[in-house]
Structure formats: C-alpha cells, structure tokens
Amino acid sequence: MGNKNKTISFRVNEDAFDALQDIAEERDISLSAVFRDYVDQLVEHDGQVAVVPERDLEIRSAEGAGSSDGDDADLSFPPTVEVPKSFIREHERLELETDHLREQLDEYKAYVTQLQDRLEDEEDEVLLLDDLDDFDGLDDLDSADVDDSYQLR
C-alpha cells in the first residue's frame, strides 16, 4: 500500500484568507501549497513550528548575526524553558507513586484471579446449613464493633 494523500478542510475568517492569499502570491505558489509546506514543516519538526513573517525573520537573523554575546540562544527553536527543581521533584514523586499504584493494581488483579480460581474449584462443593451453625466466629468479635441487627446466630 502506498502513501495516500488526505484532504484537510477548515474555515478561516475573510481577513486571514486574504492574508494567506497574499502570502501565496508573494511566494508565487498556490494557496494549497502554502498549507502543504506548513504541514510538511510541522511534521518534520514534531509540531514545533512557529509561523513568522519573512520580514521579521530577516530582522531577527540580522540581529543575531551581528551579536556574539549569546543572543543566538534567544532565537533558537524550539524555545527552552527553565523548570524549577520543585516541579521536577514533584514530577519524580508522582512517577514513583504511579509505579507503586501499578504494583498494587497488579497485586489486586492477581488476588482477584486467585479468588476466581478458588471459586471455580469450590463451585461443586455443597455447603450444609448445619455446618454454618457450628461456626463460632462471631463469638470472638467485640460486641461494640458489630451491629446486632446484622448478626446471624
């Protein structure tokens, strides 16, 4: 199977449409070629694309070329952001908590599976009511912890 071209359609206001047509005329290409170029760059740079008018790009390039004091770092793309250590620590804490919760979930799943297997094994067993009468498990419970209306004796 080869690559199939897909069609993307969306609405823009009239002013934006006129501006896009002007861009296409300046570059002597069709309006759809403008969008194809943009989409190709967007895919190539993993969504990290900024649309900047060419005149601004030329001004920025000229400013960056003449300075050697580190202004080029401000013009780099994609932009970088300093993240506080507290944010990083919180992120790491949340990752550890996530791992712990996943482990607990796995344990609970294993326990449920064990109970289901046990239930399947004991499915054919017959439970006699006389055997229940011989059970004194309730005598060991503190009477304050058990509601009398729910006791079976």
How confident is the model over 5-64, as pLDDT tens digits?
Answer: 777 777 888 988 888 888 888 888 888 888 888 788 888 888 777 767 777 766 655 555
Higher per-residue pLDDT: 45 or 103: 103
Measured between alpha carbons, how far is 44 from 54 in angstroms, rounded to an integer? 20
Query: Residue 46, by phi and psi: left (phi above 0), alpha (psi -120 to 50) or beta?
Result: left
Instruction: Assign 149 a pLDDT band (cuts: 50, 70, 90).
Output: low
As a whole number, mean pLDDT of residues 114-122 equals 83
What per-residue confidence (pLDDT) applies to 27? 82
In order of 13, 38, 139, the CA distances from 134 in angstroms are: 82, 80, 12
Q: How far is CA 140 from its chain centroid?
A: 50
What per-residue confidence (pLDDT) applies to 81? 80
What per-residue confidence (pLDDT) applies to 63? 58
Q: Domain segments of the chain: what residues? A: 14-61, 85-127
**At residue 89, does pLDDT exceed 60?**
yes
As a whole number, mean pLDDT of residues 113-118 equals 87
